[in-house]
């Protein structure tokens, strides 16, 4: 396999560094909280699409460095090495290195500004099964019961990062919003 960064690493990761979309792969206590939160949202008329749950640390590594390099937050030569991932970030030519990293960001469908202003974490809560990436949509205003049974009216906001009413309902279930990463919710907000 070609060691240089590029979209072929996404195919490699799909076999050797999997990313689950199944709620059953979450840590059991967090899974219970997420199930209840999603159930309340869906009962109120929202549509919830789960994009990621538990993640391999090798996949997190590929996410992190491809994002940082593609967005020019670091030089390709700054990337740490990872046992089990024999990738070469520095192509010996900056334009080619950036292109390889951008191919990976696009192929992994990573959230970039303005949806996310932070690089995917090397120590993500996803690795321990304590985070979920999900898209939540509805029209107008929905009435959701929080964990205590109180009905809360939540207007739809295209920017989930600023929808503090939705965040408070999630928090009542123990599912906290990471406010600078659109799809990301976790047990601790990171």
Q: Are 56 and 17 in contact (CB under 8 A)?
A: yes
pTM: 0.83
Domain residue ranges in the chain: 8-186
Domain 8-186 has CATH 3.40.50: no
What are the pLDDT tens digits along the chain (190 aa)?
A: 789 999 999 999 999 998 999 999 999 999 999 999 999 999 999 999 999 999 999 999 999 999 999 999 999 999 999 999 999 999 999 999 999 999 999 999 998 998 888 899 999 999 999 999 999 999 999 999 999 999 999 999 999 999 999 999 999 999 999 998 889 999 999 9
């Amino acid at each position: 396999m070609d060691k240089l960064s590029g979209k072929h690493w996404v195919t490699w990761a799909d076999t050797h560094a999997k990313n689950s979309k199944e709620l059953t792969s979450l840590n059991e206590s967090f899974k219970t909280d997420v199930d209840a939160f999603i159930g309340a949202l869906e009962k109120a008329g929202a549509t919830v699409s789960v994009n990621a749950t538990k993640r391999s640390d090798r996949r997190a590594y590929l996410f992190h460095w491809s994002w940082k390099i593609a967005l020019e937050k670091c030089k390709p030569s700054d990337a740490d090495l990872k046992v089990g991932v024999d990738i070469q970030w520095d192509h010996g030519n900056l334009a080619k290195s950036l292109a390889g990293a951008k191919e990976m960001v696009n192929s992994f469908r990573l959230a970039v500004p303005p949806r996310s202003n932070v690089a995917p974490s090397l120590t993500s809560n996803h690795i321990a099964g304590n985070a979920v990436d999900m898209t939540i949509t509805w029209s107008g205003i929905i009435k959701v019961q929080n964990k205590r049974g109180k009905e809360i009216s939540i207007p739809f906001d295209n920017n989930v990062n600023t929808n503090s009413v939705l965040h408070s309902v999630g928090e009542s279930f123990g599912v906290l919003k990471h406010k600078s990463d659109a799809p990301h919710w976790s047990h601790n907000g990171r």
